[in-house]
């Protein structure tokens, strides 16, 4: 289950948190499940689920998945923010 959004680490906020660009929207994401946040993660891609990075993925995979999500978002006019939460 569960929608996870790919994104690229732009900067490190603190030892737990990184700022991740997910399709043009930057969010602070918790990196605890990746062993914490550190500078070496900048530029790398991760799957993000409910505010936490859950897996590292390749740039190619990140772009493919984001393309699919954009396609879905563009076609689905009644989606609400709350229904994207889980």
The CB density around residue 73, as the number of other CB atoms within 10 Å, is 12
Contact between 15 and another protein by CB under 8 A: the answer reads no
- Position among 14, 38, 64, 70 found at the interface with another protein (CB under 8 A): 64
Pairing of strands 45-49, 52-57: antiparallel
Q: Measure the CA–CA gap between 29 and 19, rounded to whole angstroms.
A: 6
**Quick check: 3 binds another protein (CB under 8 A)?**
yes
Which of 32, 38, 59, 70 contacts another protein by CB under 8 A? Answer: 32
Angle value at C-alpha 86, between 68 and 52, nearest 5 degrees: 85
Judged by the rule CB under 8 A, the positions of this chain that interact with another protein are 1-4, 16, 30, 32-35, 47, 49-52, 54-55, 57-58, 61, 64-65, 68, 72, 75, 77-86
């Amino acid at each position: 289950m569960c929608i996870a959004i790919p994104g690229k680490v732009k900067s490190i906020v603190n030892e737990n948190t990184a700022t991740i660009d997910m399709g043009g929207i930057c969010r602070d994401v918790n990196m605890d499940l990746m062993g914490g946040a550190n500078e070496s993660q900048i530029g790398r891609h991760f799957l993000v689920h409910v505010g936490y990075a859950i897996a590292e993925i390749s740039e190619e995979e990140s772009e493919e998945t984001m393309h699919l999500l954009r396609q879905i978002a563009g076609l689905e006019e009644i989606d609400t923010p709350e229904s994207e939460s889980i």
